[in-house]
């Protein structure tokens, strides 16, 4: 009796180990067949070449404020709150303003421009600002520090009386 129970345990172990040794053997066989066919990439589901041209560009609209010395300062550097130093409402307003200009929607443009002008008036007083569309690949921007596309969309004044 003891011998048959021992043989059952041994048979269970053999089946368990057999399953786990077959899978790596199948993987190695597939890898060798790919290598034998001259394929450099060994990936079990799809070749890596499928992922070479993933679009990674980001479009961002940024408002820049004219400095007294003639330089431009991004709006997010004026205040250290929220997304990129901006309150969420202002971040959305500059994005909506850029999209409204691109889609030629005058109503949305006026609303977003009013929100941005009020914020800039409260933060900077009086001056001029510039809305830019910036298209970039984050890795390239980090490495080179250059935008792929940098387009000026709108120059506007803030802090003036609108009466």
Contact call for residues 33 and 44 (beta carbons, < 8 A) = no
Output b/e per residue, 79-108; b: 16+ Cβ within 10 A. eeeeeeebeeebbebbebbbbbbeeeeeee
Same domain, 45 and 67: no
Same domain, 97 and 137: yes
Same domain, 47 and 87: no
Structurally, the chain folds into a number of domains equal to: 2
Same domain, 47 and 93: no
**Residue-by-residue pLDDT tens, the chain, 163 positions:** 566 888 888 888 777 777 677 777 787 777 777 666 665 555 555 555 555 555 678 888 999 988 776 778 787 766 555 445 678 888 899 999 999 999 999 999 999 999 999 988 888 888 889 999 999 888 888 888 888 889 999 999 987 655 4
- Residue 138 maps to a domain: yes
Same domain, 80 and 47: no
Same domain, 31 and 77: no
List the helix and strand counts (H, then E) for the chain: 4, 4
Same domain, 88 and 103: yes
- Residue 107 maps to a domain: yes
- The whole domain housing 16 covers 2-51
What string of DSSP letters covers 88-123? Answer: HHHHHHHHHHHHHHHTT-HHHHHHHHHHHHHHHHHH
- Residue 28 maps to a domain: yes
- Residue 163 maps to a domain: no
Going by C-alpha positions, the residue among 85, 89, 108, 88 that lies closest to residue 98 is 108
Q: How far apart are CA 148 and CA 133, in angstroms?
A: 11
- Residue 130 maps to a domain: yes
Provide the terminal-to-terminal Cα distance of the chain, rounded to the nearest Å: 103
- Residue 121 maps to a domain: yes
Same domain, 43 and 93: no
Last residue of a domain, one of 17, 33, 51: 51
pLDDT for the residue numbered 158 = 87
Last residue of a domain, one of 19, 36, 51: 51
Which residue reads 């070479």 in tokens?
52
């Amino acid at each position: 009796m003891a011998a048959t129970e021992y043989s059952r345990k041994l048979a269970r172990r053999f089946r368990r180990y057999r399953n786990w040794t077959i899978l790596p053997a199948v993987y190695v066989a597939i890898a060798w067949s790919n290598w034998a066919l001259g394929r450099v990439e060994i990936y079990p589901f799809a070749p890596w070449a499928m992922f070479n041209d993933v679009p990674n560009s980001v479009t961002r609209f940024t408002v820049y404020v004219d400095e007294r010395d003639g330089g431009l300062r991004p709006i997010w550097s004026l205040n250290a709150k929220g997304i990129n130093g901006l309150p969420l409402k202002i971040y959305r307003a500059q994005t909506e303003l850029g999209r409204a200009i691109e889609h030629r929607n005058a109503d949305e443009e006026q609303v977003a421009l009013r929100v941005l002008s009020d914020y800039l008036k409260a933060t900077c007083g009086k001056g001029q600002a510039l809305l830019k569309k910036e298209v970039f690949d984050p890795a390239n921007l980090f490495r080179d520090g250059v935008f792929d596309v940098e387009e000026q969309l709108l120059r506007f004044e803030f802090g003036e009386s609108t009466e």
